Structure 1
Amino acid sequence: MVTNLRTAEWYSGDDRNAYIHRAWMRRGVPASAFDGRPQIAIANTASDLTPCNAHLTEVAQSVKNGIYEAGGVPLELPVVSLGETQVRPTAMLWRNMAAMATEEMLRANPIDGVVLLGGCDKTIPSLLMAAASVDLPAVVVPGGPMLTGHFRGEALGCGTDVWRLSEEVRGGTLSQEDFMKSESSMIRSKGHCNTMGTASSMALVAEALGTVIPGLAGTPAPDARLLEAAHETGRLAVQLVADDRRPSTFLTKANFHNAIVALAAIGGSTNAVVHLLAIAGRLGIDLTIDDFDRIGAEVPLLVNLQPSGKYLMDDLQRAGGFLAVLREVRDLLDPTALTITGRPLVDHLDNARIWDRDVITPRDAPLQPAAGISVLRGSLAPGGAIIKPSAASPHLLKHRGRAVVFDSIEDFRARIDDPDLEIDETSIMVLRGCGPKGYPGMPEVSNMPLPKKLLERGVRDMVRVCDGRMSGTAYGTVVLHVTPEAAAGGPLSVVQTGDWITLDVRNRRLDLDVSDEEFSARRPNEATLEGFAAPRRGWERLYVDHVLQADQGADLDFLVGASGSKVSRESH
């Protein structure tokens, strides 16, 4: 039995309100369920329309068993689920809504703690944002990656090989028929993308952050050990309530330091930047994009996974798993950062080992010596922009080229394969109107497909600049999250085709070579302005009016910070 439970405000006593609360929840439940037993919600993002999370109901049952075993009462709570591949126009438009809805339901309901079940890209970030804001004891169970599919004897990386194969079709080196045949081989099992995309990155980063039982993240969805760990997480959730271990009691900037180191070592998704910034904002932790460069830029890349390498997530698991990666960079981790277990992250690394050094490279022979995310600034990105060097072409990391500008993603799609488009491999492709406000929702369009005429000549990478995001499964020399975005009046809004742009990653610069006088005289053209979102009602209107820029996590301005678990008014 646990004393001082939050749910006692609903269930204790003999007045009319307590009677109603208990009576409606009885339905076969014994009276002892309301007498000192922690009520643990299972925030479940399972949905048939979120295929990566569809198996989480099975995982939830194992969590329930663990909660029961530890003396708690499990209560499954379906929450907003966002399927990255299904939701239009972009799942990122609703990440903040999902976080807000989950926060409100956790606060409004009689629960003492929560287990967060997520998998697909936006689900773990939204759940962690909610948990940070409501500040109840909370622990994450990542749903896990799918097993590797094969086509004609070759492993297929979910997402990464979609981009690669589709470009080969456009370049004339793969037939449309063969491309379509590979479709049924791409998704072999339940689980999220098997590359080091955003889903895998956020699962591992959540563990590095301290919100997952160490050793769990990265376990494939069909692996029986996922259910075993889910059971143990249910047991832990009950203990978290007894110990009053809430996000605010152990998450500090040291935890985010470790998350940034981990992100670099695994070659993780650039999307983790906006998600970590948003989670930190909910906790009141002063995290900036410059911290990602300062802490992570010189961290070696140790994980040989697509899109930065060649293997896939179930290879990472058999090679030693995430803890083996962290053990190699142990000296770079902050030893003070605690985990959900109550112990420091570094205390969980002693027994980790690398079993396949081609998948997880040792520290003294890294895949790349310095591969963390780089933050660029300059006249084209005064608020900052980011690039993932590990996924870029080394020869393009310093480049000066003529801009070819697209005013919207629709404009891009209409003109990119026009044989008369004046563009070559030295050009820099610029796409605007894709930021948080402009689209709205900051879609994953920054890794623009290359012009068909250049693909046919064998060109496979060019410098691309955009105020939107890029899929974690994508690759290429892509500068993204340009801040301020075009729709917020950033310099990107007045770039013109023919302008010269200089990219210098080593010196962290992104500059537009236009005189100050000419630049200040320019105004956005009509096509640019017409491309910006102008919603009249609903969530999109609320989002555009209140969303922050990418360098602040693209959260809504009125959601930054925590509100705690106290309900503002009692029921009557």
Structure 2
Amino acid sequence: MTGGLRKGLTSYGDAGFSLFLRKAFIKAMGYSDDALERPIVGITNTYSDYNPCHGNVPQIIEAAKRGVMLSGAMPFVFPTISIAESFAHPTSMYLRNLMAMDTEEMIRAQPMDSVIVIGGCDKTLPAQVMAAISADLPTVVIPVGPMVVGHHKGEVLGACTDCRRLWGKYRAGEIDDTEIEAVNGRLAPSVGTCMVMGTASTMACMIEAMGLALPMSATIPAPHAERFRLAEASGRVAAEMAKTKGPKPSELLTPASFRNAQVVLQAIGGSTNGLIHLTAMAHRSPHRIDLPAFDRIGREVPVLVDLKPSGEHYMEHFHHAGGVPKLLAQLGDLVDLDAKTISGQTLRDVVANAEDVPGQDAIRSRDNPIKKEGGLAILHGNLAPRGAVIKQSAASPKLLKHTGRAVVFESVEDMTLRVDDPELDVSADDVLVLRNAGPKGAPGMPEAGYLPIPKKLARGGTKDMVRISDARMSGTAFGTIVLHITPESAVGGPLALVKNGDMISLDVAKRSIELLVDAAELERRRAVLKPAAAPDEARRGYAWLFNETIMQADEGCDFDFMQRTGKKTE
């Protein structure tokens, strides 16, 4: 097997000439023959001026390069797409699969013996791991890390749970223009990802638990020197993997490692997005995520990490309490500690080295959990035949069993135009319904599932309502919100049949979400339902590809032809 600069030669019909030409041109960069004879570690560069989450990537790259060279290998940095949550139109999820394809193809196209992927902002880490699984080259993941906390009037602030909480106060008239502007400058005081248990931190924690990143990688704050020392150590590991040609993702990602990720997702009160991303990652491998099995894990695994939006603390507190290694120690036999990691250690070795921090209260023991059940629950019923998800750990207990009247919004645009209309017929006991916001319908399944409380109710003191949709929700958000209703309304799912005034019943304990309309009436409605038309922009390019091949939430929202088995044919 060839490696280093000889790997994957460009096709000129003469292998000797291909290598001669490659060396001739790369020497224009000033490399010596000694450097070019070393094993090669590719390092992704996901920095962008549009991406403040990845603002420390240049420093991470330099530290990783240092680690690679100290171990006798040669680092080569290459760019890929950079996706930032609040800058991507129409939604970052729309671009996740494009980033996965870009990363996979660049790993395949360029000579490298191992690769370091650097990411953080919500969709980047799953995209990179999806790519790594498909390319199956030895891979080290370096998360960019969370921001440090902000402060306002003596209160600790964190993006973006407190963004939503304080914006809700502003909508309710409890905060004026001057104060909300001051808050705006204090919510994100450093580069890095959200410092609560949002999607970015959720993915980083799961990836660490799956053995694809070094211990503590998920939690070190983005600006801390420790983050860059970890990057150097990751470079050393990547260099060794380049020399030994392993372990590859296919050797690390076993049924046990995928189950460990699910246990951690439940125990951290993680983002609902994490389930979609983990499902997409599994579909790139021989394994699958079974939603009923995931729900059973949630009934067995308590929430042990006291972080917003399910608890009170922030990521830096989780880090200083011992991070994921300490969490794994507390989980004990709920995880498979014999699972292997990129460093050659098992999780049992990682747990043995977990720090014991006297007096910390960010990571609880199993006999003193934040919540007795895991953060996420899977619902089924005539509204969600293939499932829906709710973050029960961030919901209002009194609403976890609730029946109310449907107030229907046809689209994100319709919701935006009407939700604050003083004439909207809505009460606090109603159920807000958003449809045509799923993978195909929106498109891209935006984080619009966090429907705002209608302004007239917010100003009357309403803090939460039952809200349901085929959309997603930011992992930083909170409330009694049912998401990922599958199939989505745009492909004829039952959500398309709901009418204003219909009664909807939610019972999280029974894991049910039901439209209280008899089956015969629903069939009459279905008979006159018009199929959703493809949007004009889906006539060409990436929009066409997305519209034609995007899968549903329970399948990970990957493109159908990007699964391990490829596109299924009739």
What is the TM-score of this pair, normalised by structure 1? Answer: 0.95
RMSD of aligned Cα (Å): 1.9
Alignment partner, residue 42 of structure 2: 41
Distance 2:470 2:170 in 1: 27
Within 5 Å, which residues of 2 pair with 1:210-221? 210-221=211-222
Residue 492 to residue 8, structure 1, CA distance change in 2 (3 Å)? same
Equivalent position to 2:34, from 22, 32, 35: 32
Tell me the alpha carbon deviations over residues 341-363 of structure 1, each in whole angstroms, 9 at most, x when there is no partner.
22221321123224444222222
Residue 505 to residue 28, structure 1, CA distance change in 2 (3 Å)? same
Distance 1:20 1:531 in 2: 47
Distance 2:535 2:483 in 1: 18
Alignment partner, residue 284 of structure 1: 286
Equivalent position to 1:253, from 252, 255, 278: 255
Within 5 Å, which residues of 2 pair with 1:43-442? 43-244=44-245, 245-352=247-354, 353-442=356-445
Any gaps of 5 or more consecutive residues in structure 2? none
Any gaps of 5 or more consecutive residues in structure 1? 564-572
What is the identity, as a one-letter code, of the residue corresponding to 1:461? D
Residue 491 to residue 186, structure 1, CA distance change in 2 (3 Å)? same
Matched, 1:461 2:461: no
Distance 1:238 1:48 in 2: 29
Matched, 1:446 2:449: yes
What is the identity, as a one-letter code, of the residue corresponding to 1:549? Q
- Name which of structure 1's ranges 39-48 and 3-12 shifts more when overlaid on structure 2: 3-12
What's the CA shift for 1:227?
A: 0.8
Within 5 Å, which residues of 2 pair with 1:401-550? 401-523=404-526, 529=532, 535-550=538-553
Distance 1:182 1:530 in 2: 42
What is the identity, as a one-letter code, of the residue corresponding to 2:6? A
What's the CA shift for 1:516?
A: 0.9
Alignment partner, residue 6 of structure 2: 8
What is the identity, as a one-letter code, of the residue corresponding to 1:421? L
Alignment partner, residue 23 of structure 2: 22
Alignment partner, residue 561 of structure 2: 558
What is the identity, as a one-letter code, of the residue corresponding to 1:304? D
What's the CA shift for 1:377?
A: 0.5
What's the CA shift for 1:10?
A: 5.0
Contact 1:11 1:22 in 2 (8 A): no
Distance 2:527 2:432 in 1: 18
Does the residue aligned with 2:222 lie in a helix, a strand or coil? coil
- Name which of structure 1's ranges 239-248 and 128-137 shifts more when overlaid on structure 2: 239-248
Does the residue aligned with 2:485 lie in a helix, a strand or coil? strand
Distance 1:340 1:247 in 2: 9
What's the CA shift for 1:320?
A: 2.1
How many correspondences in the alignment? Answer: 560
Does the residue aligned with 1:309 lie in a helix, a strand or coil? coil
What's the CA shift for 1:526?
A: 8.6
What's the CA shift for 1:289?
A: 2.4
Residue 194 to residue 507, structure 1, CA distance change in 2 (3 Å)? same
Contact 1:134 1:562 in 2 (8 A): no
Distance 2:304 2:268 in 1: 6
Distance 1:379 1:248 in 2: 38
Distance 2:366 2:258 in 1: 22
What is the identity, as a one-letter code, of the residue corresponding to 2:109? A
Tell me the alpha carbon deviations over residues 209-252 of structure 1, each in whole angstroms, 9 at most, x when there is no partner.
11001222210011111111111110101111233211011211
Tell me the alpha carbon deviations over residues 117-140 of structure 1, each in whole angstroms, 9 at most, x when there is no partner.
001111111110111001101010
What is the identity, as a one-letter code, of the residue corresponding to 1:32? D
What is the identity, as a one-letter code, of the residue corresponding to 1:30? S
Contact 2:216 2:319 in 1 (8 A): no
What's the CA shift for 1:62?
A: 0.4
What is the identity, as a one-letter code, of the residue corresponding to 1:221? A
- Name which of structure 1's ranges 545-554 and 167-176 shifts more when overlaid on structure 2: 167-176
What is the TM-score of this pair, normalised by structure 2? Answer: 0.95
What is the identity, as a one-letter code, of the residue corresponding to 1:204? C
What is the identity, as a one-letter code, of the residue corresponding to 1:59? I
What's the CA shift for 1:47?
A: 1.1
